[in-house]
Chains A and B, each alone.
Chain A
Amino acid sequence: MGINTILFSVLSVLTIFCAIMVIASKNPVHSVLWLVATFFTISGHYILLNAQFLAIVNIIVYAGAIMVLFLFVIMLMNLNSNTEQRKNLWMKLAGIVSAGMLLWILISAVRTYTEQLGKQKLNATFNTGNIGLIKNLGSVLFTQYAFPFEICSVLFLSAMVGAVVIGKKQ
């Protein structure tokens, strides 16, 4: 068992724990902080896969910019547990049943996949791919993925127009 496997296991346990805490904590501000922690641990996974650029961008954009905005919004809205509506018991039950079924499918997917991998003696590899380096990412972005990259501009343009339409005073 190499250092990579140990790091991977520790990071995975941390990620799952943080992600559960996001939905389990009562206070919305705590939820957001746990979410920031989740982003950090996921960035750790990216580094393990040798995708440094992605890891840094993930921290700067998500954990840094978006989550801070999120915190501001939540603090301005002044939410607390009193304003939260009580959920219907049947709704809870239905939620548990459907989420449990999804979990069942996902677990069976992972199980079968590992069985198949085991048959073919394939193993996930750490620290080998170099697609995540900035140089490769840039060249792929402007050759193979040029069309999706450019058409994103329409998406952002329409989102910006929308923000102005919604936000401007009438």
Chain B
Amino acid sequence: MNAIILSAILGVIMMFCSAFVKNKKSYKVVAFIGLIILLIANIIETYSHSFFTFPLYGMLSFDRFGLYLNSLIIVSVIIYFFLSSSEIEHVGEHVAEYFALIIFSLCGIFILTSFSNLLTLFLGIEIMSIPLYILTGSQKMSLISNEASLKYFLMGSFSTGLMLMGIALIYGGTETFDIAKIVNVHGGNISFLEVTGMLLMVASLCFKVSAAPFHFWTPDVYDGAPSVFTSFMATIIKIGGFIGFIRFLSARAEQTNVDYNNTFGIDWHFIFAIIIIATLIFGNITAIFQRSVKRMLAYSSIAQAGFMLFALFSMNDVSKEGFLLYAVAYSFATIGIFAILSKMSDVTLDGYNGLAKTHPALAFANVIFLLSLAGIPLTAGFFAKYYMLSSAVEVKGYLWLVIAGVIFAAISAYYYFRVIQSMYFKEGTTEFQYEISKPFTIGVIVLAILVILVGVFPQTILNYLYF
């Protein structure tokens, strides 16, 4: 509750800043202090109590998993602001509003980590995604940015329509919006309306996390949006979407499972196996052919979503821990790569030529981030992928899916290593649009060290889930 209310207030404060604070450099300081207060308030709620109590009538329910994820997300946003807030100032005129929109969309994520009602799920998804449509189109003079924004908005509203249709059907089948309530309206039988509603909900949520076959918007939107906001969308928003998906399915999927007593139901394992395979194929194979690193990262985010989908596929304790690790590993690494990328003037592979000679520290940190995304041991990505795959091993009869996952992880190394190859083995000079400050370099290095530390001691992250 703390995080939801305080983030809404912080967003309003950021809005007022644009009216009363003239110095643009001070917005990020306000956002920074606000986020640290948010983090402290959230930790206080995790270990003792919430500052705000009022009757919620089962609209939200707070558990350790959700609150801990809140903390991790706030930490990621703090890192994101530290590394990239100077680029946010370069995007356009309305700097304070961009900060406000980012924080409003955080508020939506905090609802998604704690909803227990279909209404709040819908509101959370909408609060999370509406600011993104605007952030995508924030470069008003750029045609690509406008196109991306319009495309994202139209497709996003269509998928929201599907979600509402699904919610209506689920309500028709169960007579409740509550996700946790198990209802036997029809004498123990599942209502077919609920099954259909669940399928529509899954389609719509797959769109939000860009899983195949609902991923077609991703490359265009990620490529068209300003690089700083692509970084935010590809990491924090994607994690938020996944949390909503996981909470929804872990409460509801049981009811619609195929049961031998019933004539119908959904074989969730099979459905997610197909979605995972399709996502991995589309993401990885298309990423190989990209010349632009930004577009390659868009496809790689689809491929990484394929691995995060394993959490939905297996739905056990290991997958919960695995998802936490994956969220940390993926968002830290991607924030780092995008922080460097959004300072560069040329975002194709050629733009990276010779980075190791001019900025050895940045190049080295970039290598660690890329290795983490590829899942090489000693980086955070390795244990994230390991937990995900080992959770899938526990599901009987789907060993082929695990093997396919390993193969695609190996394929993904190819396009990540191409960037490393450009940086270290090709001649050229990297040109930067914005200057590289000393704190920025230190921040990137610290983030790289964090990625390695998480890779060596993954338990330190997971322990906080229980203690």
Contact = CB atoms under 8 A, between A and B. Distances in A.
B427 interface: no
B126 A155 contact: yes
Is the interface on chain B under 10, 10 to 19, 20 to 34, or 35 or more residues?
Answer: 35 or more
Interface string A87-127: 00000000000000000011011101100100010000000
A12 B123 CA distance: 30
- Identify the interface centre among B15, B55, B172, B192: most chain A CB within 10 Å of its CB: B192
B131 A106 contact: no
Nearest to B137: A166
A120 B123 contact: no
A144 B127 CA distance: 20
B8 A170 contact: no
Given A148-B119, A155-B130, A161-B97, A170 B15 contact: no
A157 B131 CA distance: 10
A112 B192 contact: yes
B127 A151 contact: yes
Nearest to A163: B134
A145 B59 CA distance: 8
Given A143-B57, A158-B101, A166-B140, A105 B199 contact: yes
A113 B191 contact: yes
Interface stretch (B103-111, B271-279, B335-343): B103-111
Interface in B166-222: 169, 172-173, 186-187, 189, 191-193, 195-196, 199
Contacts of B123: 148, 151-152, 155
Contacts of B264: 112
Given A147-B59, A159-B130, A165-B134, A154 B8 contact: yes
A168 interface: yes
- Identify the interface centre among A109, A110, A159: most chain B CB within 10 Å of its CB: A109
- Identify the interface centre among A110, A146, A157, A170: most chain B CB within 10 Å of its CB: A157
A72 to B, nearest CB: 19
A168 B11 contact: no
A164 interface: yes
Contact of A170 (B11, B93, B137): B93
Contacts of A138: none
Given A148-B59, A170-B92, A109 B169 contact: yes
Chain B contact residues, majority secondary structure = helix
B111 A161 contact: no
Contacts of B401: none
Nearest to B8: A154
B192 A165 contact: no
B434 to A, nearest CB: 20
B138 interface: yes
Given A151-B123, A158-B105, A162-B130, A116 B93 contact: no
A166 B193 contact: no
A158 B189 CA distance: 42
A162 B192 contact: no
A108 B59 CA distance: 32
Contacts of A151: 4, 8, 111, 120, 123, 127
Contacts of A108: 192
A154 B110 CA distance: 13
Interface in A16-65: none
A165 B100 CA distance: 11
Interface in B205-242: none
Contacts of B59: 145, 147-148
A154 B186 CA distance: 38
Contacts of B94: 164-165, 168
A158 B133 CA distance: 11
Given A105-B199, A147-B60, A148-B119, A158 B12 contact: no
Contacts of A155: 123, 126-127, 130
Contacts of A168: 93-94
Contacts of A154: 8, 11, 104, 107-108, 127
B193 A113 contact: yes
A161 B101 contact: yes
Interface string B411-437: 000000000000000000000000000
Given A148-B59, A158-B134, 12 more contacts: A106-B196, A112-B192, A112-B264, A113-B173, A146-B57, A147-B57, A151-B4, A151-B123, A154-B127, A155-B123, A162-B130, A165-B98
In the A-B complex, the 7 residue pairs with the smallest Cβ-Cβ separation, listed nearest first, are A162-B134, A112-B192, A158-B104, A109-B196, A147-B59, A109-B192, A144-B57
19 contacts: A105-B199, A106-B196, A113-B192, A113-B193, A145-B59, A145-B119, A147-B57, A147-B60, A151-B111, A155-B126, A157-B104, A158-B105, A162-B130, A162-B133, A164-B94, A165-B134, A166-B137, A168-B93, A170-B92
